[in-house]
Structure 1
Amino acid sequence: MAAPCYLGWDFSTQQLKVIAIDEQLRVIYEDNVHFDKDLPEFKTQGGVYIHSDRLTVTSPVLMWVKALDVILEKMKSSGFDFSQVRAMSGAGQQHGSVYWKKGSIQILKNASPELPLHQSLKGCFSVRDSPIWMDSSTASQCRALEKALGGAQHLARVTGSRAYERFTGNQIAKIYSQNPEVYKQTERISLVSSFAASLFLGTYAPIDYSDGSGMNLLQIWEKAWSKPCLDACAPGLEERLGCPVPSHSVLGPISPYYSQRYGFSPDCKIVAFTGDNPASLAGMRLQEGDIAISLGTSDTLFLWIQEPTPALEGHILCNPVDSQTYMALLCFKNGSLMRERIRDECASGSWDEFSKALSSTDAGNSGNLGFYFDVMEITPEAVGVHRFNRDNQKVPRFPKEVEIRALIEGQFMAKRIHAEKLGYKVLPKTRILATGGASHNKKILQVLSDVFNAPVFTIDTANSACLGSAYRAIHGLVAERNVPLADVVKLAPEPRLAVTPTPGAEELYRPLLKRYAELEQKVIYNPASSCLVK
């Protein structure tokens, strides 16, 4: 008799991925469908269509449905035993939206197991090409929403974020204003995550609190739609969205379509799907006080926060694994490309030389501080390279080794300052989980550990959203009994301890962090005084 297993799905921008794990949390199956390569008939590039205005970015909804057909057929032909799947959950790229035409629920409920799903659903979508997170065509809708809510800060206080062009509410507002007829024909609007869950459920799946927090529509404190936000976007929006639910909710059993076509057990449970970033938080197994830092092209912070203070930068979302708490996302555009430029200029293009230079300077860099923004930064809004000596005077250049330390210390001090602005607190039990290219460099991680005064661990996150979805499938079955996710994933491999803070680091960096925050105010982008020192 085969052992029970759990599925995690990830409907991401470029591909659909699936992972199966057993009760020991071991990965027993994984597969993917790459949209451009495996479904060339949709003619996407990177899974998307970039429209002629260069601002509008969409993906064809039927491509996502067909990808599911293809991957399930691949699993079937490889002999995968669907009857052993006890539960599944999934993730979707955040902010994207799907528009179901009136009458579609009947087609979804009664899909014939003789046909692949994309054939049954081909007439179900009032908007064929879904707006996705890469879209930035809704500037006027964002301004209107902030105005209706009494300003950007008030909107952030209500929904966790100021108005962003990719956020779903603003995309819905654009569709309503440009195509009121299309909006009128729409009976349900799903996020990519709840759309994917609907395919498995055979009826409209609700939006979960966590992914729902990325719409500029959900009151993150009351966990209910904000009437002023809904009214500012489109009429009759509440009935088109349905009621949001906790992210650990069991939505119901799998649709009979899958039992009849693939042999799933009729008892297989569908746990609410969520966004890819929230699912990654589950996959990285963050706990209270933890912080995950992805050091990539852009640097992204994931924070677990008890009492958030929403700001004009970053995003506060409901926590997908504990609906009483929150998570925050902060993105810094000047990440690895900035580090690589300074490495090339100051360390002959060698990471070894870069690390030696970092070790040759003292923590605190003798009071020298720098801001390094080759491209317009979003956290904070600033551009250019700005160097300050210990007396806070602007200087045109630093010696090479001072430049290297100023860059790394500055990048990590900014991360701590902006995390704390959102309500994050470093706790005695805090762990920093580092991933991405720079997480392989121990000298860089030492600075990170010292600035935050917390140990740094490294983790492998190749499939964190997919794995997080599989973990959440198991968690959903026991969450009603208040079992925390941490108890469910005890058997998963532990992160590897990389470095611990140098004794005395907190005392050294506390005054520097204060100075850095004050100097940051001086470099924030002001078009009127834009004489940048390079």
Structure 2
Amino acid sequence: MWVEALDLVLQRLQKSKLDFEKIAAVSGSGQQHGSVYWKNGSSKILSSFDPKKPLIDQLRDAFSIKESPIWMDSSTTEQCKAIEKAVGGALKLSELTGSRAYERFTGPQIWRIFETQPEVYQNTERISLVSSFMASLLTASYACIDQTDGAGMNLMDIKERSWSKIILEATAPGLEEKLGKLAPAHAVAGLIAPYFVERYDFNKNCLIVQWSGDNPNSLAGLTLNSPGDLAISLGTSDTVFGITTEHKPSLEGHVFPNPVDPKSYMVMLCYKNGSLAREDIRNQCAAKSWEVFNKFLQQTRPLNGGKLGFYYKDHEILPPLPVGFHRYVLKNFNGESLDGVSECEVKEFDPPSEVRALVEGQLLSMRAHAERFGMPSPPKRIIATGGASANNYILSSIATIFGCNVYTVQRPDSASMGAALRAAHGWLCDKKGNFVPISCMYMDKLEKTSLNCKLAATAGDQELVSKYALLMKKRVEIENSLVQKLGRL
């Protein structure tokens, strides 16, 4: 799929008369937590691409497993438990790698493949992430995994920026050789391969800068540079992220190296049930129409009359809960106090209340876990990105629930913008011969406006923000009860 996408994109750019000769550097964004298993001998296939043939035809026999695990994988619970036990517990693993063990992370996935398909593991020469896989295609040699994306594997010592020996040894034999080395996100992976020079007329001196994951690239694309700022990406999976100067271990959320600043960290919360859950409720309750969906948001009042919903089409990451919908009505809730407030579980809401319960529920969860993770409360501002950031009604709900202004950028695909900025940054670091701050690339005006951020929604009534804080507290109580009853602690 990724090979076909690369060929297709290059063909379309070629038809648009883009002058590839003028491109000085290329980087890119890969879906985090996806992995690729190269079969023994595939390095020879990589190094001998024929420019007269499409890549897909030359790579059909290059992989030891045809369907690699991606971020939607939930099959590695036992391996997660084993990894945490190997290092002394979940918090110790978070201290070491930046996250406790998660099913979608590549380390547990490798462990499971080694246990259940040992012949596949033995026949694997190299394991790439999606990001390093794409960089490998462009350089026609195995590219390093970059340190930022590598932190999303439960295998890397986040402080040392190197593979953790204790985890590698526990996961599978000979794993370090199959993973290769780690590299800083701003490093150059190599020159573009002759295949692309001859087939698409790239400049032979074009640099391939390390590719990284989509979430780190989004942080780079939004140019977050203040610990008081937050970004919310509303996509297939919803994410909340910001930056910090220190790593504080936690049992939820993730810490990665900052892709554009080796001295700081990126902190992130991830929710599996994002846009797909919103689309599901739209289809069920709003006649498959976003116009009707937004109309229901308009006609229902904030706080939704104390109606709270938990909507999980897929096994959720945060909180760790299985597939299922849970609806509650709070009795005696007036937004002033939780004294005397109780909850009653119900089977359904009316369609307008269902829509608001979904949107408010997702955002209240984001706020609650962000505060518990040590992110600023309230944030100085929130920058929204992703497909649903084009929905002004959702943006207005974010501003009201978090109690701060919400901004959007000119283009919602911040991951691709971040990849382009990182390509330029890597080129600049290579030219200077050492790391330089990415801010050196920006004009004063551009830097101050964070790539022309536009005010999309204002914080509004602080009294309402306080009422949402009480609703959030009650939601957390119910969530904790659900986790104790259904989830993995």
The one-character-per-residue Cα deviations of 1:100-154 (angstroms, maximum 9, x if unpaired) are 3334334423434344434444443333443333333333322322222223333
Amino acid at match of 1:160: G
Q: Secondary structure at the match of 1:329?
A: strand
Q: Judging changes above 3 Å, is the alpha-carbon distance between structure 1 residues 500 and 486 closer, same or farther for their aligned structure 2 residues? A: farther
Task: Find out whether 1:213 has 2:151 as its counterpart.
Answer: yes
TM-score (norm 1): 0.73
Contact between 1:309 and 1:421, CA under 8 Å: does it hold in 2? no
Superposed CA deviations along residues 288-335 of structure 1, whole A, max 9, x for unmatched, are: 332222446764323333334343333332222223222313216375
**Equivalent position to 1:478, from 400, 425, 428:** 428
Give the aligned partner of residue 405 of structure 2: 455
- 1:427 CA displacement: 7.2
What does residue 304 of structure 1 align with?
243
Rounded Cα–Cα distance in structure 2 between residues aligned with 1:110 and 1:510? 60
> Secondary structure of 2:182's partner?
coil
Mind listing any 5+ residue stretches in structure 2 that lack a counterpart? Answer: none
Question: In the alignment, which of 327, 330, 333 is matched to residue 385 of structure 1?
Answer: 327
CA contact (8 A) 1:370 1:387 kept: yes
Deviates more, 1:392-401 or 1:73-82: 392-401
RMSD: 3.7
Secondary structure in 1 matching 2:153? coil
Match of residue 371 from structure 1: 308
Q: Is 1:330 paired with 2:274?
A: no
Structural mapping, 1:152-191, within 5 Å? 152-191=90-129
User: How many angstroms apart in 2 are the aligned matches of 1:408 and 1:133?
Assistant: 23
Change (3 A) 1:343 1:207: same
Q: 1:112 to 1:446 in 2, by over 3 A?
A: closer
1:454–1:307 Cα change, 3 Å: farther
In structure 2, relative to structure 1, the CA distance for the partners of 1:136 and 1:204 (3 Å cut) is: same
Whole-angstrom CA distance in 2 between matches of 1:79 and 1:216: 43
Q: Which residue of 2 aligns with 1:234?
A: 172
How much identity, in percent, do the aligned residues show?
42
Contact 1:316 1:329 in 2 (8 A): no
Q: Verify the 8 A CA contact 2:232 2:238 in the aligned structure 1.
A: yes
Moved more, 475-484 or 118-127: 118-127
Residue in 2 that maps onto 1:512: 470
Q: In terms of mean alpha carbon deviation, does 512-521 or 492-501 score higher? A: 512-521
Deviation at 1:254, TM superposition (A): 1.3
Q: Does 1:85 align with 2:28?
A: no
Normalized against structure 2, the TM-score is what? 0.80
* In 1, Cα distance between equivalents of 2:150 and 2:327: 37
What's the offset of the Cα at 1:189? Answer: 1.4
Query: How many angstroms apart in 1 are the aligned matches of 2:11 and 2:353?
Result: 57
Amino acid at match of 2:143: A
Q: Indicate how the Cα distance of structure 1 residues 65 and 86 shifts in structure 2: closer, same or farther if over 3 A, else same.
A: same
Secondary structure of the residue that 1:327 maps to in structure 2? strand
**1:523: Cα distance to partner?**
3.4
Instruction: Write the letter of the residue equivalent to 2:157.
Output: Q
SS in 2 for 1:502: coil
- Aligned-pair CA distance for 1:473: 0.8
Pairs within 5 Å for 1:26-425:
63-288=1-226, 289-295=228-234, 299-323=238-262, 324-331=264-271, 333=273, 336=278, 351-352=294-295, 354-358=297-301, 370-375=307-312, 378-381=317-320, 384-388=326-330, 389=333, 390-396=338-344, 411-425=362-376
Equivalent pairs counted in the alignment come to 457
Query: Following the alignment from structure 1 to structure 2, what is the Cα–Cα distance between the partners of residues 387 and 132?
Result: 36
**Secondary structure of the equivalent of 1:190?**
strand
Q: CA separation of 1:142/1:429 partners in 2, compared to 1, >3 Å: closer, same or farther?
A: closer
Amino acid corresponding to residue 330 of structure 1 in structure 2: C
